[in-house]
Amino acid sequence: MPTRFGQDVFSSRNKAKVVKVVSGAQHTLALTEQGKIYGWGDEECGKLGRASNTRNKEWQPYKIERLGARSAADVFCGKHHSFYINNKHQVFAWGMNNHGQLGIGNCFNVSMPTRIKELDPYEGDYVVEITGGEHHSVARTKDGVIYCWGLNDEG
């Protein structure tokens, strides 16, 4: 049965009106109209945008915390990683990165949103949509250019 969730954080009193919710395999992110991102669920691999602590399975899945995102305009999830685009059209990624699915130039997991400089706006074109699988990611720009990165064992 559907249950109302997060009234203490997402209420008109706190001015945290949610405009988008996305989920990966075991984590969820919510974007507010003020450009803030909140996350909850499994924090393993840094996919909630904060360093992993000892996980208490009794309360951790429901603990809503704000991520270190600034001026977020949109938010997206892969299976174990996440992305946001800010109001300058810059793309940030965090979470599992064992096959380079974050696009940040290495294969280390990241627990804080990290800018993907290769996807910065170029000649008026910029990323408008991102999706992620388990070990790969795909982005589409305003002009319809597609970028892919991460595991490529099956093309």
Give yes or no for residue 13 having a pLDDT over 90.
no
Per-domain residue ranges of the chain: 18-150
Give the model's pLDDT for residue 34. Answer: 92
Tell the CATH topology of 18-150: Methylamine Dehydrogenase; Chain H (2.130.10)
Give the model's pLDDT for residue 131. Answer: 95
CB atoms under 10 Å from CB of 96, counted, come to 24
Give yes or no for residue 56 having a pLDDT over 60.
no
Give the model's pLDDT for residue 152. Answer: 85
pLDDT grade, residue 65 (50/70/90)?
Answer: confident
Give the model's pLDDT for residue 58. Answer: 52
Summarize pLDDT for 83-132 with one digit per residue, the tens.
999 999 999 999 999 999 999 999 999 999 999 999 999 999 999 999 99
CA separation for the pair 145, 128 (Å, rounded): 10
